[in-house]
A = this chain, B = another copy of it.
Amino acid sequence: MPDPALSTSPWGSRADRAAERDAKRKAVLTTAVRFFNSKGFAATSLDDVAKALQVTKPTIYHYFSSKDEILFECVRLGLEAIRDAAEQVRARGGSGRERLEALMLEYALVMTRDFGICVTRTSDDQLGDDSRVRFRALKREIDLILRDVITDGMEDGTLAQGDPRVVCFTISGALNWIARWYRPNGPMTAQDVARSTVATLMAGLAS
């Protein structure tokens, strides 16, 4: 008669399976995104990714249905990180300027991490029709939140007047570009980079 506490519950077991499956999916994504960021999406073959994970290509297809899905999941993780931070900031108190600054800091930090970098390096022509639509929608969500905060700041007088659209693009460009030049082993930490870039944007170039 076995100890009842040791008997494998179908629930626990099923949860374990699901958790393990998720962990493996995530492992594929983190490996893939590094390849995408260093070699480019097109130049990365799924055999590369499989080899790095010490499995074979069909194993990857056991967790994902296509290369396109893998890329989309990578950019989704990056974009949702930004969007979630942006939405939290939008909702909280403070002047428009304070909220914009907080938003930009979070945005900048995401851009120093793998999935954020992948977002900037991915142009929508690389995605399939379906993923492209969802990709654009996510980017648009972020854009709208950003513009919202900018407009608030212009109205409450804490931000300089201007075309919110241009201001939004200027900010996005400067922050997205971090993904291209930031190096984890460089002289500046991610925090340093985020803070100084945001400060430069806020204060402007002129003295």
Q: Which residues of A contact B (CB under 8 A)?
A: 38-43, 97, 100, 121, 123, 125-126, 153, 157-163, 166-167, 169-178, 180-181, 193, 196-197, 199-207
Contacts and interface: CB of A to CB of B under 8 A. Distances in A.
Nearest to A125: B40
A170 B180 CA distance: 11
Contact of A206 (B170, B176, B193, B203): B203
A-B pairs, top 9 by smallest CB distance, nearest first, are A204-B204, A173-B177, A42-B42, A173-B174, A160-B207, A174-B174, A166-B196, A40-B125, A170-B174
Given A123-B40, A125-B39, A126-B40, A203 B170 contact: no
A31 to B, nearest CB: 17
Please tell me how many copies of the chain the complex holds. 2
Contact of A43 (B39, B125, B171): B125
Contacts of A172: 177
A131 to B, nearest CB: 14
Contact of A204 (B43, B158, B176, B203): B203
B100 A160 contact: no
18 contacts: A39-B125, A42-B42, A97-B205, A121-B123, A160-B207, A167-B200, A167-B205, A173-B173, A173-B175, A173-B178, A174-B174, A174-B177, A177-B177, A201-B201, A201-B205, A203-B204, A203-B206, A204-B206
A158 B42 contact: no
A155 to B, nearest CB: 11
Given A178-B169, A203-B204, A196 B163 contact: yes
Nearest to A36: B125
B206 A202 contact: yes
Contacts of A197: 166, 169-170
